[in-house]
Amino acid sequence: MKSSAETNISPLGWAAYASILSFGSLGAAWCLASYYFNVPDFVMPKPHLVGAALKTGWIDGLLWQHIAFTVEATLKGLAVGCGIGLIIGIIVAEIPALERIVFPIVIGIQSVPKVAVAPLIIVYFGFGIESKIFTVAVLSFFPIFIGTLRGMRATDADLLDLYRSFMSSRLHTVLHVRLPSAATYIFSAMQVAIVLGLIGCITSEFIASTQGLGFIIKSRAGELDIAVMFAAILTLSLFGTLGVAAVKMLERFVLFWDQQRK
Amino acid sequence: MNTWIERAQQLLIAVVLIIAWWAVIKIFDIPGYLLPSPYSVGNTLLKQAANPEMYQTIFSTLSSLLYGYLIGVSVAFVLGCLVVESKFAEALLLPAITALQSVPKIALAPFIFIWIGFGQPAVITLAALSAYFPVLVNTIAGLRSYDRDLEGLFQTLRLSQLSILMNVKIPAALPQIFAGLEIGLTFALIGTVVMEFMVGISGIGFVIQESANSADLPLNFASIVILAIIGISLSSVIRSLRRRVMFWETQRETARNQ
């Protein structure tokens, strides 16, 4: 019963040993399966093969071109999608009549998998990077748009009254009151946008591409070259983690006042 | 009353959007192979409504989605309870869970082919994997969010760990669990559709992909509309379930919305 209260401050050493144990036993099981029981490489690659694939991919540069493609497509798409989502979100939130109508619609279509337009986008934009950028933009637009709307809705009404009574201009109020109070919502929406953006990029690369990590994963699957697939997935996971970490750092940097409160 | 006016306004917006769509096509004289007219999409929808094959397609998507979703959600819920209730399970599982969380589940699709093969089980697996993580994360966060001041009371009443979990922690976690269920549904839908893109045997995702390949845009648009209807109705099922289960929240929420 005491445990739940103490979990957060549980002795770190003990937990560290346990996680070493859990990862260690996973690794041991992997080695045992690969080297002792000789599980075929196309089912589960041997650890040294994944290591070799990572080396040829990262150090010898086999994956560089594909990493650059996926990163470029995702970043450009995120920039477009988040930028437009933010701007339209602000505009809609500023026009209450529009907001009342649009908000329920947007919430309603939240559960529609927007990734379904990926094949259509390829029809319009071709196999190149443009279709990936556009897919990422579409997928990242919605969370940012919703986050901005929600955040601007949540502005403290008393503060808005205060600014109104000082005859603050609309732009000034948006920039100094509504956006800052929406910032936490927008930053957490950005984390979602990164996850969805990566999904969009990979999906679009799966469907039709000649480059990118998604393309590598799919084409190597045809050759049962699982070691390279592992290397590509590890790379993707790394970028996803880095992206989310970058947003968190940016949030801490921009919302310095929120940190003090915490 | 208010909600009816809002409904009417939303309907009006939808009508305006469809007219605008139609007007753009007329004014700029856009050919049907670039952007299908609302009429041709509506026509295709009506035609598909009389097409038994489309019902099979929808059934296939729905069954993979629901099987995967239910598997992912139940495993996540049980594991979430385990992690919160047992320090040992937490230390053993949480690092691995956190490490795996950062893997984009969609990227695993080709692995699933190799390990499980082409077909419905592959779709179910990706749907389950996609639904699993948001539910797990929210369950853990929710179960830890109960009122700590109650601990003294538990001690006085000598409640067992199980009864605390069932009667205090899970009810307190429900808002977050339901939020996780909704996010999980969205991701399960993404997983299902992407896997159907790739498996290429059946399902709405397959129809969307095929119609794009053959430049049959009316069918493509119509399938996306059908998928949207599936997504919206399933999430409204979850929301009404939430209202049923968490009846005490409903009153508070309506008070807040007014």
Chain A contact for B9 (CB, 8 A cutoff): yes
For residue A40, report the phi and psi dihedrals to the nearest 5 degrees: -60, 150
Q: Which residues of A touch B231 (CB under 8 A)?
A: 109, 111-113
Does residue A45 form part of some domain?
A: no
Do the domain assignments include residue A114? yes
Percent of chain B residues topping a pLDDT of 90:
44
Please check whether residues A237 and A151 belong to one and the same domain.
yes
Regarding whether A245 and A206 lie in a shared domain, the answer is yes
Interface test with B, best of A203, A224, A229, A233 (most B CBs within 10 A): A203
Which residues from chain B sit within 8 angstroms of residue A3, using beta carbons?
A: 87
Q: What is the mean pLDDT of residues B12-17?
A: 86
Question: Same domain for A186 and A251?
Answer: yes
Chosen for mutation from A3, A105, A109, A115 (greatest number of chain B CBs closer than 10 Å) is A115
Between B29-33, B106-110, B133-137, B191-195, the lowest mean confidence (pLDDT) is in B29-33
Question: For residue A46, is it within any domain?
Answer: no
Give the model's pLDDT for residue A1.
38
| A121: closest chain B residue by CA | B212
Same domain, A67 and A121: yes
C-alpha A33: how far from chain center: 33
Give residue A160's domain range.
58-261
Q: Looking at residues B216-241, what average pLDDT do you find?
A: 92
For chain A, how many structural domains are there in total? 2
* End-to-end CA separation in angstroms for chain B: 12
Task: Quote the pLDDT of residue A259.
Answer: 60
| Nearest-by-CA chain A residue for B230 | A112
Single out the residue of B138, B135, B131 nearest to residue B172, CA to CA: B138
Q: CA end-to-end span of chain A, whole Å? A: 27
> How many other CB atoms are there within 10 angstroms of residue A193's CB atom?
29
Compare all CA atoms of chain B with the CA of A107 and give the residue at the minimum distance.
B232
Establish if A76 belongs to a structural domain: yes
Name every chain B residue with its beta carbon within 8 A of the beta carbon of A11.
Answer: none
Residue with tokens 């955040």: A151
Q: Give the CATH number of the domain where residue A84 resides.
A: 1.10.3720.10
Query: B85 vs A174, B79, B134, B141, CA distance in Å?
Result: 45, 10, 19, 12
Domain edges within chain B: 1-30, 37-257
Q: What is the mean pLDDT of chain A?
A: 85
A49 domain residue, yes or no: no
Is residue B148 over pLDDT 50?
Answer: yes
For the domain made up of B37-257, give the CATH fold. Answer: MetI-like fold (1.10.3720)
- Cβ of A14 within 8 Å of Cβ of B91? The answer is yes
Residue-level pLDDT at B88: 80
Rounded Cα distance, B126 and B107, in Å: 10
pLDDT digit string, tens, across residues A244-262 = 889 989 988 888 776 655 4
- With b for 16 or more beta-carbon neighbours within 10 A and e for fewer, the A201-221 pattern comes to bbbbbbbbbebbbbbbbbbbb
Residue A237 and residue A203 share a domain = yes
A35 and A140 part of one domain: no
DSSP label of A43: T
Q: Are residues A123 and A172 in the same domain?
A: yes
Question: Which residues contact residue B116 at a Cβ distance below 8 angstroms, ignoring those fewer than 6 apart?
Answer: B122, B125
A136: in domain: yes
Residue A44 lies in a domain: no
Is residue A87 domain-resident? yes
Calculate mean pLDDT across residues B66-86: 94
pTM value > 0.90: no
Low-confidence ranges of chain A (pLDDT < 50): 1-10, 262
Give me the interface pTM, i.e. the ipTM.
0.85
- Residue A2: predicted pLDDT: 40
Taking residues B187-200, report their average pLDDT.
91
Task: Please tell me whether residues A247 and A118 are part of one structural domain.
Answer: yes
CA dihedral B209, B213, B214, B219 (to 10 degrees): 30
Euclidean distance between CA atoms A104 and A1, whole angstroms: 43
Residues of A in contact with B212 (CB under 8 A): 119-120, 122-123
* CA B182 – CA A233 distance, rounded (Å): 26
Interacting residues of B33 by C-beta distance below 8 A, sequence separation 6+: B215, B217
